[in-house]
Chain A
Amino acid sequence: MNINDMYQICQYAINKAQNGYLTPSQFNLLANQAQTSYQDYLLGEFQQYQYGRPQARVNYSQNSDTRQRLTPFILLATLDPDADGLIDYPTDTITKDGVDYEVKYLQTDSMLTEDFDRIRFVQQDSLYSYLKSEIDPIVTNSIYLLKETGFQFYPNTTDNDVTLSNIKLTYVVSAPTMTWAYTLDGNGRAVFAPTQTGVGVTPTTGTAEPLWYDVDKLEIIARILKLVGVSLQAGQVEQYANMVTTQGQ
C-alpha cells in the first residue's frame, strides 16, 4: 500500500459517508498528524501512566508486537561524547526504494558501552546520589541525562578523568513527513505524482511515502478519518484498502 492508496481510501470513506472532499493539502496535514499520534501511542502515551504501576497500557518496549511495528524507525548510532560528556542527539537518513528520508532522534531505546555494559538514564534529582556513590561510583556505573539538545554522560573526562567512547545507542526516530504530491491535469484536477518533483508538482519536493508497515498504515488511515470525523473500525478500513488495491476506486 502506498500513500496514494491511503489517500484514496480516505476519499472513498469520506465520499461514501457524504462528508465532502478531502483536499491533498488537508490529507497531508492530517496524515502526518495521524502518524505522530499513532507513534506516540506505540511509544506509550504518558497520560496512561498510573501511580504504582508506572507503565503505559501500550509501551513500545513491552512486547514484541508493538516493538515490531516501530522497527522501521529504530536505528543504531555510535556516540563519542566530548570532554564534558555532552553530545547532540543523533540524526540519520533512512533509505527506502532509493529515496532518502531525513530522520531525527525521538526516544532512546538502549544505551550500552562498547563492552556492552549498560549506561543508565537517571532522574535529575537522583544525580547527586550517583555522583557521590561509594558503592557504585559512576566510573563503574555510567549514567546519562537528557538535555535540551543532547545527552549528558557521566563519567566524563572533565569531571572524572574517564572518557566514554563508542557508546552504542539504539533509538527511535520520528516518522518522517509523508506527502501526497500531485500534478494538475487539463481539467485542473489533482493527479498523483509518485516520482515527479520540481515545477508543476505540488509540493515541488514530490511524494514522500510513509515508512510504516501496511498494517500500521491502516491504523493511520483510521486516525485520519477520526480527525475528519468519520469513525471506522480497522477491519472496515482493511476491506476498503483491499478493494482499492485490487480493483481500484
Chain B
Amino acid sequence: MTRKIFIERILRQIYNGQPTDDSSITFNQVNQWLNDAIGLAVKKNYTDGIQMDGIAYVNNSFYTTYTNLDISAETVDNVTYSVELPQIPFALGKNEGVATLQFVGDKKTSQTAIPLSMNQVAYIDNMRPIQNKILYWIEGKNIYAKSSIPLTSYKATLRMISGGDSGDLASTLIIPDDYIPLIVEYIKGQLAFERSRPIDASNDGVDNIN
C-alpha cells in the first residue's frame, strides 16, 4: 500500500466520502501525522515483543535498507566520519533504530560496522583503535563512524526502522498490515480533533476564544 492510498483512506473516513474541493485537511498534512503514527506502531511492536516473548525486539517487517548515503569527514580528528540519516532513528533500546551499517565502494562491501551505545563511545575514545573494525554510534539524525580507513570515497548502506520514504507519497508504506489499525486510530483521533475545533470564520481582528 502506498502512502497516498493510505492517506486517501483516512481522508474518506474523516470527510465521510470524497473530500470536497474546499476541504482543509490535505495529503501532505496527513502525511505529517503518518510519521508520528509509524513511531507509535514501532514502539507498540517493541513492547508487544517484551510482553509476549519476554524479549525486546522490533519485527523485521519494519526495517528498510537505505543505500548510497554520502559520508563526510569530521573535523574533530582524522578517524571520525558522519552519515546523515533519512530520519532520526526511533528511540528503541539503546540504539536499535539502526540495525546494520556497511560501507560500499569499488564493487566491495565492508563488514558490518559495530554499534556503540553512548557510554561505550566514551570507553572507545580511551582505548586503542581496533584493527580493521569500524565502530559507529547514532546521534540525532547522524551516524558517526570511527575508522582508520578513510571512508569519504565510499557510500553508506544501512538498515533502519522506517516507514519508508516520507517525502514520496507514491512510495510504499513500510508497515505490516497488523499494525495499520493502530496507525489508523491514531491519525483519526488527531484529525477528528482538528475537525471538531471551532473555526474563526469572522474577520474581526479578534481571536476565537473557544
B21 and A135 contacting across the interface, CB-CB below 8 Å:
no
A136 and B28 contacting across the interface, CB-CB below 8 Å:
yes
Tell me whether A136 and B203 are in contact in the complex, defined as CB-CB below 8 angstroms, given that A111-B21, A118-B21, A120-B21 are known contacts: no
B28 and A124 contacting across the interface, CB-CB below 8 Å:
no
B203 and A141 contacting across the interface, CB-CB below 8 Å:
no
Nearest CB on A from B170, distance (A): 14
Nearest CB on A from B35, distance (A): 12
Write out the residue numbers on chain B whose beta carbons fall within 8 Å of the beta carbon of A141.
26, 28
Nearest CB on A from B131, distance (A): 47
Cα A123 to Cα B202 with chains together (Å): 10
Cα A112 to Cα B22 with chains together (Å): 11
Query: Of residues 116 to 170 in A, which have CB atoms within 8 Å of B's CB atoms?
Result: 118, 120-121, 123-125, 135-136, 140-141
Q: Taking CB as reference atom, which chain A residue is nearest B203?
A: A125
Cα A121 to Cα B22 with chains together (Å): 7
Any A CB within 8 A of the CB of B52: no
Cα A135 to Cα B24 with chains together (Å): 12
B203 and A123 contacting across the interface, CB-CB below 8 Å:
yes
- Taking residues whose C-beta sits less than 8 angstroms from the other chain, chain B's interface range is under 10
Nearest CB on A from B30, distance (A): 10
Write out the residue numbers on chain B whose beta carbons fall within 8 Å of the beta carbon of A123.
201, 203
A110 and B21 contacting across the interface, CB-CB below 8 Å:
yes
Any B CB within 8 A of the CB of A54: yes
B29 and A124 contacting across the interface, CB-CB below 8 Å:
no
Nearest CB on A from B62, distance (A): 25
Cα A185 to Cα B29 with chains together (Å): 71
Any A CB within 8 A of the CB of B32: yes
A135 and B201 contacting across the interface, CB-CB below 8 Å:
no
Tell me whether A135 and B32 are in contact in the complex, defined as CB-CB below 8 angstroms, given that A120-B22, A141-B26 are known contacts: yes
A135 and B28 contacting across the interface, CB-CB below 8 Å:
yes
Q: Taking CB as reference atom, which chain A residue is nearest B199?
A: A54
B28 and A140 contacting across the interface, CB-CB below 8 Å:
yes
Contact indicator per residue, chain A 48-81, by CB within 8 Å of chain B (1) or not (0): 0000001000000000000000000000000000
Nearest CB on A from B168, distance (A): 13
Nearest CB on A from B197, distance (A): 12
Cα A157 to Cα B176 with chains together (Å): 43
Which listed residue, B21, B22, B203, touches A124 by the CB 8 Å rule? B203
Write out the residue numbers on chain B whose beta carbons fall within 8 Å of the beta carbon of A125.
203
Query: Of residues 19 to 39 in B, which have CB atoms within 8 Å of A's CB atoms?
Result: 21-22, 26, 28-29, 32
Nearest CB on B from A120, distance (A): 6
Of B21, B28, B29, which is in contact with the most chain A CB atoms at under 10 Å from its CB? B21
Nearest CB on A from B25, distance (A): 10
Nearest CB on B from A63, distance (A): 14
Nearest CB on A from B179, distance (A): 24
Query: Of residues 75 to 123 in A, which have CB atoms within 8 Å of B's CB atoms?
Result: 110-112, 118, 120-121, 123
A136 and B26 contacting across the interface, CB-CB below 8 Å:
yes
Write out the residue numbers on chain B whose beta carbons fall within 8 Å of the beta carbon of A136.
26, 28-29
Cα A135 to Cα B29 with chains together (Å): 6
Of A110, A112, A136, which is in contact with the most chain B CB atoms at under 10 Å from its CB? A136
Cα A125 to Cα B200 with chains together (Å): 10
Write out the residue numbers on chain A whose beta carbons fall within 8 Å of the beta carbon of B28.
135-136, 140-141
Write out the residue numbers on chain B whose beta carbons fall within 8 Å of the beta carbon of A135.
26, 28-29, 32
Q: Taking CB as reference atom, which chain B residue is nearest A109?
A: B21
Nearest CB on B from A133, distance (A): 9
Write out the residue numbers on chain B whose beta carbons fall within 8 Å of the beta carbon of A121.
22
Nearest CB on A from B28, distance (A): 5
Nearest CB on A from B19, distance (A): 9
Residues of A that sit less than 8 Å from B by CB: 54, 110-112, 118, 120-121, 123-125, 135-136, 140-141
5 contacts between A and B (CB under 8 A): A110-B21, A111-B21, A112-B21, A124-B203, A135-B26
The 3 closest A-B pairs by CB, nearest first: A125-B203, A118-B21, A136-B28
